Chain A
């Protein structure tokens, strides 16, 4: 099936006709106001704590202007491209990114610095740079991806690329918190798992849409479960082995959990059969038990999860401090910049900018803010799944659902980990955590979602009736016209 996007446009409507995106414009104006308000709140609090005179200026007007400008440029690019894509996604991402920028400005800048060309950049400046790149990636992907043929045709190539990235991480990865996460090439370093998740979803969408009929129809009985014959189960086992491999080789529990959960959800969407989910959950339990028995990292994480307060100053330190942060926040929070009391001149949670931004927001914005941020992710999920539900074919539906799930499940894993609902794993909070790989990969995800959400150019016209006849779709009675 040829993608509709790639089809020749009908001559009735020209291709590159700008289309106003009023909803997006309105929401972006709102985002701008909110972020400026947040920045004013942060600026006043900072000056108050530093004992300076109170002025109602934003914390860092320059950075703020650059960021909002970038959002505006992306918006204008979408308008000029004239595609009929979703109008809620960009403002939602813009707001999440704005919150991220406020959070990074709020943290001590000295903790992450890079020197380039004689200038040193603080944490917020670097994050701003990544945010700008991510917005660029979103706009370019949303406008540039017009055909999904190259995505669906080379699915095994994508799978191979994912495995190669995984192997590279294994061979050349640096260790962070006991996990092999980052690869360094020259001056650049990145976390390949962030890219792998995108590639993996593309492969799965291709694979599942091709083999969907087989997965649904054939069946074999195994106790109360109706399963397809063994050959069709192999991908599930392979996926399970890959997730376990990530745990074994990389010690990266978060990525393994994310991949497996997204895989199971996609299989369920494709087949609509609960037996796969049951089987998958059984495999998950089996894998968890094996991992718990064999690996100290896994055991530690689970033990900390059960009771972090037992070793509150040792292994449980970060989780306990995270819970303290939530506790200090209470319902309305301390206000941006007023939380996170320093301990001996340092932040209470060392990895706050990557692994615990949700705890920081929980403290400074309170329960009210936490619920709002969860709501923003739900908006993202709702939009993505709607794109999936109204997609033109299975591949696009599964791709859109998979991309949405990758972001949504990842947000769930880290937010629930911060709150001790599940064991803590080191994945980033999408669009808020500090870090380039995460922002760029999630930018690609949102860009693809925007591209997939395109309603296409104006629908093709109804079949042209012959002169003097009723159109065929009205029944084609051979009535004469006047």
Chain B
């Protein structure tokens, strides 16, 4: 009975049926993946309604700063259900929020288990049994943060978008971690205003929810020269007295590398002088570092940057974005595409992207004689069952103390010397020797460059390391350096003399 010509359709029908059956099998496999393999992880996610519902009756632990000042506590609404109250909006991107509608974010999310009194939940049953009515009291968190320093940092950034990270280089403890713009976490935590406030914040310009200090990825510009220094001096590719004979002449027209010209802006001051390492840092010589990068090699640069924390998330109390020297995948060594990319990366352009936290760690490692400390924010977790302190932890020795002091001396000159003062205005802490490096990260087009500063003080006995970035703030010395100077002054002279 089949058609007048052509074979019966049965074969095609059978194949289509087979393909559909396979597709449905795929759905079953997908369901198995989410319902069995990933089930416990999904069920413990802080914004899972089950967790939110279970946590609604819990009185969350408080969050305190280093002096014991309250950063986050609770109030009860008309129904007697507790909700979160925050002391200052300067903390919002860092601490995040705990909302009855939207779950948690930021530090509230990272320490949700402790704050809601669940320790480390191993299974859902465990979690639910611990949330039996009446038994709910979360642990308190004490941070190394200084509320006053944090407020000052946000105030200093003003209406600009940017970030400040300050930490104690000896312990890695975070003193301030600011990100602007901030937002009103109280409104999101309050059940009455949560929906409107959340939607308003999510739609606001400048992505207030983004914690720029840990998650913002920026072109570093000249502050990256410190990373190049660590690689070049650490690997022995150059010494402090290395000079490049071709460098003075190249200042006039730019250094030609495979058809690309590296330019500088300092030849009015240095004339025909062949710069050594200290002088190159003082005047922030791009050509010197382009040549240094080429001499060090891509593999060594990537490798030493990796020891400073590039290429992997930084172990920290909050999730961090990964800083990178290059996009990777290139064949030139260390993932670089060619010599042009390597030369540009060596002074912080090309495909190099960094987080403010990463750059603060670079400064802190130089300050701490070459030893990288794990950055930490939470110093103790306290609750009904006693206090648990979290001590400082050294991650690794990145470079010898000799190399660290060579770089540190040059950074000192960059802030304090006559030449340095021209390029790094306003970073110095009056009466206290200061070390640092500015950066002016070109974004391409007509946009103002990002303004950078990293440094530490006192130069001879470092107590605070800092990284400041101001988005489109102009030259490093225009915005970032003065902010760093005033904040380090405030910390060393007023808050922690």
Chain A hits for B102, CB < 8 A: 313
Chain B hits for A209, CB < 8 A: 3
A269 at the interface (CB under 8 A from B): yes
**Contact A327 to B34, CB < 8 A, known contacts A269-B16, A342-B53:** yes
A370 at the interface (CB under 8 A from B): yes
- Of B7, B38, B102, B191, the most chain A CB neighbours within 10 A belong to B102
Contact with A along B99-132 (1 / 0, CB 8 A): 0111101000000000000000000000000000
Chain B hits for A393, CB < 8 A: 1-3
How far, in whole Å, are A362 and B27 apart by their CA atoms in the complex? 12
CB of A445 to closest CB in B, whole Å: 15
- Of B15, B28, B48, B52, the most chain A CB neighbours within 10 A belong to B48
Nearest chain-B residue to A348 (Cβ)?
B49
Chain B hits for A99, CB < 8 A: none
Q: Is B43 a contact of A328 with CB atoms below 8 Å?
A: yes
B430 at the interface (CB under 8 A from A): no
Q: Identify which of A212, A341, A370 contacts B3 (C-beta below 8 A).
A: A212
Q: Is B31 a contact of A323 with CB atoms below 8 Å?
A: no
A415 at the interface (CB under 8 A from B): yes
Of the listed stretches B17-25, B263-271, B375-383, B477-485, name the one at the interface; the rest are far from the partner chain. B17-25
Chain A stretch 314-339: residues in CB contact (< 8 A) with chain B: 314, 320-321, 323-324, 326-331
**Contact A326 to B20, CB < 8 A, known contacts A313-B102, A348-B49, A362-B31:** no
Nearest chain-B residue to A400 (Cβ)?
B13
Q: Identify which of A366, A392, A397 contacts B13 (C-beta below 8 A).
A: A397
Q: Identify which of A326, A408, A415 contacts B35 (C-beta below 8 A).
A: A326
Chain A hits for B15, CB < 8 A: 268
How far, in whole Å, are A401 and B12 apart by their CA atoms in the complex? 10
How far, in whole Å, are A314 and B200 apart by their CA atoms in the complex? 12
B42 at the interface (CB under 8 A from A): yes
Q: Is A371 a contact of B103 with CB atoms below 8 Å?
A: no
Q: Identify which of B20, B35, B49, B101 contacts A381 (C-beta below 8 A).
A: B20
Q: Is A374 a contact of B101 with CB atoms below 8 Å?
A: no
Q: Is A324 a contact of B48 with CB atoms below 8 Å?
A: yes
Contact with B along A181-221 (1 / 0, CB 8 A): 00000000000000000000000000001001100100000
Q: Identify which of A326, A328, A394, A412 contacts B9 (C-beta below 8 A).
A: A394
CB of B92 to closest CB in A, whole Å: 15
Nearest chain-A residue to B12 (Cβ)?
A269
Q: Identify which of B14, B34, B105 contacts A419 (C-beta below 8 A).
A: B34
B6 at the interface (CB under 8 A from A): yes
Nearest chain-A residue to B9 (Cβ)?
A397
Q: Identify which of B10, B30, B52 contacts A343 (C-beta below 8 A).
A: B52
B11 at the interface (CB under 8 A from A): yes
**Contact A371 to B31, CB < 8 A, known contacts A321-B49, A385-B17:** yes
Q: Is B13 a contact of A401 with CB atoms below 8 Å?
A: yes
How far, in whole Å, are A191 and B262 apart by their CA atoms in the complex? 62
B205 at the interface (CB under 8 A from A): no
Q: Is B24 a contact of A377 with CB atoms below 8 Å?
A: yes
CB of B34 to closest CB in A, whole Å: 4
Q: Is A313 a contact of B27 with CB atoms below 8 Å?
A: no
Nearest chain-A residue to B195 (Cβ)?
A344
How far, in whole Å, are A421 and B101 apart by their CA atoms in the complex? 27
CB of A271 to closest CB in B, whole Å: 8
**Contact A324 to B52, CB < 8 A, known contacts A331-B36, A401-B16, A416-B30:** no
CB of B126 to closest CB in A, whole Å: 15
Nearest chain-B residue to A330 (Cβ)?
B39
How far, in whole Å, are A216 and B3 apart by their CA atoms in the complex? 13
How far, in whole Å, are A348 and B48 apart by their CA atoms in the complex? 9
B202 at the interface (CB under 8 A from A): yes
Nearest chain-A residue to B34 (Cβ)?
A326
A446 at the interface (CB under 8 A from B): no
Chain B hits for A378, CB < 8 A: 20-21, 24
Chain A hits for B101, CB < 8 A: 343-344
Chain A hits for B105, CB < 8 A: 313
Q: Is B35 a contact of A366 with CB atoms below 8 Å?
A: yes
A409 at the interface (CB under 8 A from B): yes
Nearest chain-A residue to B16 (Cβ)?
A265
Chain A hits for B10, CB < 8 A: 389
**Contact A331 to B35, CB < 8 A, known contacts A216-B6, A393-B2:** yes
Chain B hits for A270, CB < 8 A: 9, 12
A382 at the interface (CB under 8 A from B): yes
Q: Identify which of B21, B30, B45 contacts A324 (C-beta below 8 A).
A: B45
A398 at the interface (CB under 8 A from B): yes
CB of B8 to closest CB in A, whole Å: 8
Q: Is B9 a contact of A269 with CB atoms below 8 Å?
A: yes
Nearest chain-A residue to B44 (Cβ)?
A327
How far, in whole Å, are A393 and B8 apart by their CA atoms in the complex? 9
A272 at the interface (CB under 8 A from B): yes
A77 at the interface (CB under 8 A from B): no
Q: Is A412 a contact of B20 with CB atoms below 8 Å?
A: yes
Q: Is B48 a contact of A328 with CB atoms below 8 Å?
A: yes
CB of B4 to closest CB in A, whole Å: 8
CB of A125 to closest CB in B, whole Å: 27
Q: Is A362 a contact of B16 with CB atoms below 8 Å?
A: no
Q: Identify which of A320, A327, A341, A416 contacts B27 (C-beta below 8 A).
A: A416
How far, in whole Å, are A362 and B31 apart by their CA atoms in the complex? 8
**Contact A374 to B16, CB < 8 A, known contacts A331-B35, A342-B53:** no
Q: Is A213 a contact of B5 with CB atoms below 8 Å?
A: yes
Chain A hits for B12, CB < 8 A: 268-272
Q: Identify which of B11, B35, B50, B194 contacts A370 (C-beta below 8 A).
A: B35
A405 at the interface (CB under 8 A from B): yes
CB of A414 to closest CB in B, whole Å: 10
Chain A hits for B45, CB < 8 A: 324
CB of B38 to closest CB in A, whole Å: 6
CB of B127 to closest CB in A, whole Å: 12
Chain B hits for A371, CB < 8 A: 28, 31
B158 at the interface (CB under 8 A from A): no
A140 at the interface (CB under 8 A from B): no
Chain B hits for A326, CB < 8 A: 31, 34-35, 39, 42
A90 at the interface (CB under 8 A from B): no
Q: Is B11 a contact of A374 with CB atoms below 8 Å?
A: no
**Contact A341 to B49, CB < 8 A, known contacts A270-B12, A324-B42, A393-B2:** yes
Extra inter-chain contacts (4) besides given A269-B12, A272-B7, A328-B43, CB under 8 Å: A313-B105, A328-B48, A370-B31, A397-B13
A-B complex: 4 closest residue pairs judged by Cβ atoms: A327-B42, A269-B12, A419-B30, A326-B34
Task: Give the B-binding residues of A (Cβ under 8 A).
Answer: 209, 212-213, 216, 265, 268-272, 312-314, 320-321, 323-324, 326-331, 340-344, 348, 362, 366-367, 370-371, 374, 377-378, 381-382, 385, 388-389, 392-394, 397-398, 401, 405, 408-409, 412, 415-416, 419-421
9 CB-based A-B contacts, threshold 8 Å: A213-B5, A272-B7, A327-B48, A329-B39, A331-B36, A344-B100, A405-B20, A409-B20, A416-B27
